[in-house]
Amino acid sequence: MSGAQVLPASRPIRGTASVPSDKAISHRGAILGALARGTTVVRRFSGADDCGSTLGALRALGAGVERDGETVRIDGWGARGPAVADAVVECGRSGTTMRLLCGALAGFAVSATLSGDPQLRARPMERVAEPLRLMGAEVATAEGGRPPIRLTGAALRGIDYALPMASAQVKSAVLLAGLRADGPTTIVEPSATRDHTERLLRAMGATIESGRDADGRPCISVEPSSLGAVEVIVPADPSSAAPLLVAAALVPGSDLRIRDVGLNPTRAGLLAALIRMGARVEVDDPGSGAPEPAGMVRIESRPLRGIAVGAAEVPAMIDELPLLGLLGTQAEGTTDVRGAEELRVKESDRIAVLVKGLRDLGADIEELPDGFVVRGPAPLRGGEVDAAGDHRMAMAFAVAGLIASGPVRVRGMESVGDSFPGFLDALEGLR
């Protein structure tokens, strides 16, 4: 379908819900499994289209991949490297697949052309190509630094590299390349990003340390290491839980629980923001996971107030910022988001798409170069909005339909399969 209509909620959102498994951890479990010796088992592997692209790419590179429902087994290529010397690798719409595979392949005697759908071919890739070139790999991008990427692996040298932007994908690519380098590789981040790669690397036997540099910036160092196969249990995706949590925060009288949500602190920014805005949020003690913490999250609606979010907070909620903008439309006062220019180079320009869509529904929202300002509360009206083929935007606009005065039609709703197949059914099941 090219669009879907969402009707206003007629009653509070109540009950207990489940959401799909975490995309980020599923991607990494599969790719690191290919780098390891032995058979890695990933349980509760995500059914999202993007994660299917990762499995297809690994098969194209000669890895043994077996999928039985939500269980995936990857026979790793270990130190011998991919089973093909020259490969064409289709990455679908998945930037994670493309960027992490560049790092995974950079240290092997293999040439690969990585491409994908038109949406992916519009995304910036020089940010990952540059550090890999510094390490010794040959990496060529197309016009404007976009895909397709032509990569030829080489003997790599360890480097010290300061990321120009906070990007978990670029950080992960450099860490994976560092496994094959001739010495330590150290990455300095402008602010901390999600650490799923680091957690998995430790679990698989890599020598990796995290800390702060002399200026207080987050830094991660990895030694040349071989990886051993492990079993990975993937928790529910906090970014998929987010639209349902926000729906419950916005619809008066709601009380929602979501099971087994990933509670990694580097992904918990939206929960912290909801609490600051006044929603009641309860989280089970996550304890220690395998290797990720997870637990039940409960949210009850309360009157909301506007908040300010700065650059240091953005990485922990980068995928949820459009939803924060929606929350701001119903909050008392101003919700101000800065330092989020990375939103402009996602599957769409999420700042521009968010501002136009919410304005079309009656919101008072201002576009900034690196974020947005929302003034609320403002009643939303029904209408038609365009998600620009972006799954995060489609889900945010669908949630907006629950609190609008009339039906909201969302164009581009088919894109939700990239991360949350069955999202509309899940949303309707809570009404």
Contact 319, 246 (CB under 8 A): no
Give a yes or no: residue 139 inside a domain.
yes
Q: Is 205 helix (H, G, I), strand (E, B) or coil?
A: coil
Q: List the strands of the sheet with 294-300, edge to edge.
A: 14-17, 255-262, 294-300, 280-283
Which residues contact residue 397 at a Cβ distance below 8 angstroms, ignoring those fewer than 6 apart?
A: 357, 385, 387, 408, 410
Are residues 188 and 282 located together in one domain of the fold? Answer: no
Is 160 one of the catalytic residues? no
Model confidence over 331-387: pLDDT tens digits? 999 999 999 999 999 999 999 999 999 999 999 999 999 999 999 999 999 999 999
The DSSP H or E segment spanning 147 is strand 146-152
Give a yes or no: residue 229 inside a domain.
no
Contact 70, 45 (CB under 8 A): yes
- Output the pLDDT for position 3: 84
Model confidence over 226-267: pLDDT tens digits? 999 999 999 999 999 999 999 999 999 999 999 999 999 999
Which residues contact residue 18 at a Cβ distance below 8 angstroms, ignoring those fewer than 6 apart?
A: 236, 258, 259, 260
- Output the pLDDT for position 1: 42
- Find tokens 């009288």 and name the residue: 253
Structure tokens that stand for 426 in this block: 């899940």
Which residues contact residue 203 at a Cβ distance below 8 angstroms, ignoring those fewer than 6 apart?
A: 230, 232, 291
Outline where DSSP puts E strands in 179-301. Answer: 185-188, 208-212, 218-222, 231-233, 255-262, 280-283, 294-300
**Residue 289 belongs to domain with CATH number:** 3.65.10.10
Rounded Cα distance, 298 and 345, in Å: 32
Chosen domain end from 195, 224, 253: 224
Give a yes or no: residue 231 inside a domain.
no
What mean pLDDT comes out for the span 214-226? Answer: 96
How many CA atoms lie within 13 Å of 17's alpha carbon, on the beta-carbon side?
A: 31
Rounded Cα distance, 328 and 313, in Å: 16
Model confidence over 273-314: pLDDT tens digits? 999 999 999 998 666 566 899 999 999 999 999 999 999 999
Q: Quote the number of domains for the chain.
A: 2
Are residues 218 and 291 located together in one domain of the fold? Answer: no
Are residues 11 and 53 located together in one domain of the fold? Answer: no
Per-residue confidence at 430, pLDDT binned at 50, 70, 90?
Answer: confident
Are residues 203 and 257 located together in one domain of the fold? Answer: no
Is the predicted pLDDT of residue 32 greater than 80, yes or no? yes
Are residues 152 and 240 located together in one domain of the fold? Answer: no
Give a yes or no: residue 230 inside a domain.
no
Structure tokens that stand for 200 in this block: 């998995």
Q: Please give the angle made by the CA atoms of 287, 50 and 338, to the nearest 5 degrees.
A: 70
What mean pLDDT comes out for the span 383-395? Answer: 97
- Output the pLDDT for position 290: 65
Are residues 33 and 9 located together in one domain of the fold? Answer: no
H runs (alpha helix) in 251-381: 269-277, 321-329, 350-360
Q: Is 429 helix (H, G, I), strand (E, B) or coil?
A: helix
Chosen domain end from 224, 245, 264: 224
Give a yes or no: residue 220 inside a domain.
yes
Are residues 47 and 189 located together in one domain of the fold? Answer: yes
Which residues contact residue 428 at a Cβ distance below 8 angstroms, ignoring those fewer than 6 apart?
A: none
Are residues 181 and 213 located together in one domain of the fold? Answer: yes
Amino acid sitting at position 113: T
Are residues 121 and 256 located together in one domain of the fold? Answer: no
Are residues 383 and 424 located together in one domain of the fold? Answer: yes
Domain containing 80: what range?
A: 23-224
- Output the pLDDT for position 143: 95
Structure tokens that stand for 322 in this block: 């459009």
Could you give the C-alpha distances from 370 to 88, 342, 350, in angstroms and in order? 36, 8, 11
Which residues contact residue 65 at a Cβ distance below 8 angstroms, ignoring those fewer than 6 apart?
A: 30, 55, 58, 59, 72, 73, 74, 75
Give a yes or no: residue 311 inside a domain.
yes
Q: What is the pTM of this model?
A: 0.92
Model confidence over 151-204: pLDDT tens digits? 999 999 999 999 999 999 999 999 999 999 999 999 999 999 999 999 999 999
- Output the pLDDT for position 288: 57
Give a yes or no: residue 325 inside a domain.
yes
Residue from 22, 50, 195, 319 carrying the catalytic annotation:
319
Are residues 204 and 277 located together in one domain of the fold? Answer: no
- Find tokens 């030829």 and name the residue: 152
Rounded Cα distance, 380 and 400, in Å: 8
User: Running DSSP on this structure, what letter comes out for residue 216?
Assistant: S
Q: Is 158 helix (H, G, I), strand (E, B) or coil?
A: coil
Model confidence over 34-45: pLDDT tens digits? 999 999 999 999
First to last CA, the chain: 22
Are residues 153 and 259 located together in one domain of the fold? Answer: no
Per-residue confidence at 71, pLDDT binned at 50, 70, 90?
Answer: very high
Contact 338, 321 (CB under 8 A): no
